[in-house]
Structure 1
Amino acid sequence: MTRPDIVLYTANTMNGWKPLIFLHEAQIDYELVPIDFGKKEQKAPDYLRLNPNGRIPTIVDRGADDFAVFESGAILWYLAEKYDRFLSHDPKERSETLQWLMFQMGGIGPMMGQAMFFQRIAKPNGDEVPYAIDRYVTESRRLLEVLDTRLAGREWLVGDAMSIADIATYPWARSYFWATVSVDGLPNLQAWFDRIDAMPRVQEALQLPEPRPSAFGKGDTEAAAAENAARFR
């Protein structure tokens, strides 16, 4: 039996979902290796040889002499070029895609990630920092407003079809509940959510490696938040 080229090491986090969304939406066969944070598998020596930063996700391309790629944005760009999907051939659109990909990597991800950390981990563990919470929630809201403005009169962040910029941004922006950032008054952003929410393969990808509905404000969010905080206690 032929093995798939791509081996994906990932977990059910906002960054971890990005390559899953790409692979499912592009209908590309791959091998999934779930990473268990509780067992610190991301810090195991064999994994660190693939990803020196000890984070997820990571891919290994068997079709390219077991070439390893880490950092979620770099993984999306690599997959886009390998499979010629979700990345325009037009030089200007490619540049725009890279710009919005970097906007997510350098802005939305770090800011919303800190908003989540200070509220979902630090605060319930007795280290509440109101200034930090306000800082990161406010900046996250500003960045979502930038997205809303960008999406005025358009369906996708770049061009007339989904790109890796949308794939990278969606799991972070869509988890506004977990960061306690309001999306009220952002109709273009909410319409973009609705479009991607309605894509069956995207929603299939979000169930892997295991479902985490609490990130999107579904299920028993209080219990999930308590369990999440306890992992860092």
Structure 2
Amino acid sequence: MSHGKQFTLFTHKAGPNGWKVAIVLEELGLSYEPVYLDFQKGDQKAETHTKYNPNGRIPTLIDHKNGDFSIWESDAIILYLAAKYDPAHTISATTEAERFTELQWLFFQSSGQGPYFGQAAWFNFFHPEKIASAQERYKNEILRVLGVLDGVLATQPWLNGGRCTISDLSFIPWNDFAIKGLLEGVNVAEKFPNVQRWHGTMAERPSVVKIHADQIAIKNA
């Protein structure tokens, strides 16, 4: 494993959770080497990866400047990066109240958004049988999650502390995936105008622009 850059990020070309970590690394100006695991070959379950992540899934981050410290689970990685490499709190909580609100939103993202949006993707694109009831259930869950976000964002521009933080950034990749591929027949701008505004503002951040360009380049490589 090359240690030319501070971090190694085990990830996947299409995995939203890996891109989420990459956005935060870009926000903090941290150098990293992505290693794109081939799920068809079972790379994620190979010992070369599971010695760092016993769950055998992505993402996994290795911090070479901290004794090759390894950490997995995307929101745990984001919290580690914020705690260790954002001393000025440019994208992280500053007060105790903000800290707990930050945890609240990251837990909601990891337990509410990620699993439901992921199941929607599975039943729409990968499950060998088309099960209409499962597709409808998880589409409705996407709409429910977006409704929660839209209601909060109706009264404030960001989820936490009046500025863009990891509380917001953690939602980008799965929201992007859902808006572009899982909500056929839904006018997101009309149904969830506050989410549309919030998401669109984040999409213009240099870190997100860079990651979107990387996604396109990897897809077309």
Same fold (TM over 0.5): yes
2:104 equivalent to 1:99: yes
Alignment-mate amino acid for residue 105 of structure 2: W
Q: Is the 8 A contact 2:6 2:30 kept in 1?
A: no
Q: Is the 8 A contact 1:11 1:209 kept in 2?
A: no
Alignment-mate amino acid for residue 196 of structure 2: Q
* Secondary structure at 1:8 match in 2: strand
Provide the rounded CA distance (Å) in 1 between the counterparts of 2:133 and 2:112: 19
Alignment-mate amino acid for residue 122 of structure 2: F
Count of residue pairs the alignment pairs up:
210
Alignment gaps of 5+ in structure 2: none
Provide the rounded CA distance (Å) in 2 between the counterparts of 1:175 and 1:10: 17
Provide the rounded CA distance (Å) in 2 between the counterparts of 1:14 and 1:95: 24
- How many Å apart are 1:209 and its aligned residue? 5.9
What is the correspondence of 1:192-231 to structure 2 with a 5 Å cutoff? 192-208=198-214, 211=217
Alignment gaps of 5+ in structure 1: 214-218, 220-233
- How many Å apart are 1:6 and its aligned residue? 1.7
Identity fraction in percent: 38
Q: What is the root-mean-square deviation in Å for CA atoms of aligned residues?
A: 2.0
Paired residue for 1:225?
A: none
Provide the rounded CA distance (Å) in 1 between the counterparts of 2:107 and 2:182: 20
Paired residue for 2:157?
A: 155
Paired residue for 1:190?
A: 196
Higher RCO (C-alpha 8 Å, min separation 6): 1
Alignment-mate amino acid for residue 126 of structure 2: I
Provide the rounded CA distance (Å) in 1 between the counterparts of 2:22 and 2:213: 10
* Secondary structure at 1:201 match in 2: helix
What is the correspondence of 1:28-107 to structure 2 with a 5 Å cutoff? 28-84=30-86, 85=89, 86-107=91-112
Paired residue for 1:227?
A: none
What is the correspondence of 1:16-31 to structure 2 with a 5 Å cutoff? 16-31=18-33
Paired residue for 1:180?
A: 183
Provide the rounded CA distance (Å) in 2 between the counterparts of 1:136 and 1:148: 18
Deviations 1:94-121 (A, max 9, x none): 1001101110100011111111111111
Deviations 1:10-61 (A, max 9, x none): 1231111111100112221222222222322111111001011111110011
Paired residue for 1:113?
A: 118
**TM-score normalised by length of structure 2:** 0.88
Change (3 A) 1:170 1:25: same
**TM-score normalised by length of structure 1:** 0.84
- How many Å apart are 1:211 and its aligned residue? 4.2
* Secondary structure at 1:175 match in 2: helix
Provide the rounded CA distance (Å) in 1 between the counterparts of 2:125 and 2:209: 24
* Secondary structure at 1:145 match in 2: helix
Change (3 A) 1:22 1:187: same
Q: Is the 8 A contact 2:38 2:44 kept in 1?
A: yes
Provide the rounded CA distance (Å) in 2 between the counterparts of 1:60 and 1:174: 26
